Amino acid sequence: MNPARIRLPGHPDAACDLVAESIVDEYLRRDPKSRLNISVTGGRGALFVAGDAMSTADFDISQVIQRALGSVGVMAGIEPFVSIEPVVAERATLFGTGTESPVVVFGYATSETPELAPKSLVTAMRIARALEEKRSTDDEWFWLGADGEVFVDGEKTQPVVSIRVEHGSLAIEDVRQRVTEIAKGIASDATIRINELGRDEARGLGNVMGASGRETQSYGALMPSTPSVIGIDPLQPQKGGAWLARWAARDLVKRGAKAAMVRLMYLPGDRTPTRMSARDEKGKDLTVLLDRESLSLNRVISEWMRPQLNVDASRWGWVASPGLPWEV
């Protein structure tokens, strides 16, 4: 089984991702033609937000940051320092093309789950979402913090699920019992490990440093890494192209392949891929089934864009998350 990890929304890196994507969404809401490159890092009382913006939008970025942090349980104690600057005139044309060098992205899909994604990734996501639902809706789970992660690995006949959660003052034995019940309800055949290193009372950005754009294993640890899609607008091929490649791979599985891998290369300034390739689980070449125009970055803007799209794609990862336009 391909090992996979899903971070809970309050994980320091995931929280930084959420802040970056919340800023991207707000720029795009006010000016759909915005071109952006935003990075976020910090923790333990300070958060540093920096980047380039080519946009007519003007708003209080600090308020967007506070709302994003509040949604993952960081309510106070983080002071934002913002330095997002307009692109200088000499670089405006180059920045507006989306990329300064060729970008190669890939998409993968498999029929082993209804989500057309690797089973380990889907299992980790289901457990993580179940824990977050308990935290946000069940008063009896008041002790569960927003920070945590779920890792799934092992043979198909005996997977191992390793979970770390932030749990306040609740005794570790009670934490393990309650979280195991959630995990077993989703992965009944798995060995469950909870907080193997012991107590984890206070984490999150209040106590641990984080940074945006660190997660690049979108399909699991044994699959190729993908370029970071965090903090940039979807017209850039690192993001829009990756979404399109995932859509194309899903389409090939829907058409009969048990699994499919799609690779796309975008040259600077291009909206459609210069090179395309696709193969199924046996290595059969499926490239002839790809349609170049359906993989145009313009499609992302004209058909898929909606409010909060970038935030929704970052909260659980953009592969197999329900409600995303390329996952339909």
CB atoms within 10 A of CB 282: 8
Can you give the pLDDT at residue 157? 73
Domain ranges of the chain: 103-115+230-321, 118-194
Structure tokens at 179: 């979280």
Average pLDDT over residues 38-45: 93
- Give the pLDDT confidence of 98-146 residue by residue, as tens digits: 667 899 999 999 999 999 999 999 999 999 999 999 999 999 999 999 9
Q: What is the pLDDT of residue 256?
A: 96
Q: For residue 73, what pLDDT is reported? A: 76
In the predicted structure, residue 1 carries a pLDDT above the cut 80: no
Question: By percentage, how much of the chain surpasses pLDDT 70?
Answer: 95
Judged against a pLDDT cut of 70, whether residue 198 lies above it is answered with yes
Report the pLDDT value the prediction gives residue 94, as an integer from 0 to 100: 62
Confidence tier at 91 by pLDDT (50, 70, 90): low
What is the structure's pLDDT at 222?
85
Q: Check whether 90 has a pLDDT greater than 60.
A: no
Is-same-fold flag (103-115+230-321; 118-194)?
A: yes
Position 133 scores a pLDDT of 96
- Report the CATH fold assignment for 103-115+230-321: GMP Synthetase; Chain A, domain 3 (3.30.300)
* Domain at 118-194, CATH class: alpha beta
What would the pLDDT profile of 93-108 be if each residue is shown by its tens digit?
A: 666 566 678 999 999 9
Does residue 205 surpass a pLDDT of 90? Answer: no
Interval 218-253: pLDDT, tens: 999 888 888 899 999 999 999 999 999 999 999 999
What pLDDT band is residue 57 in, cutting at 50, 70 and 90?
very high
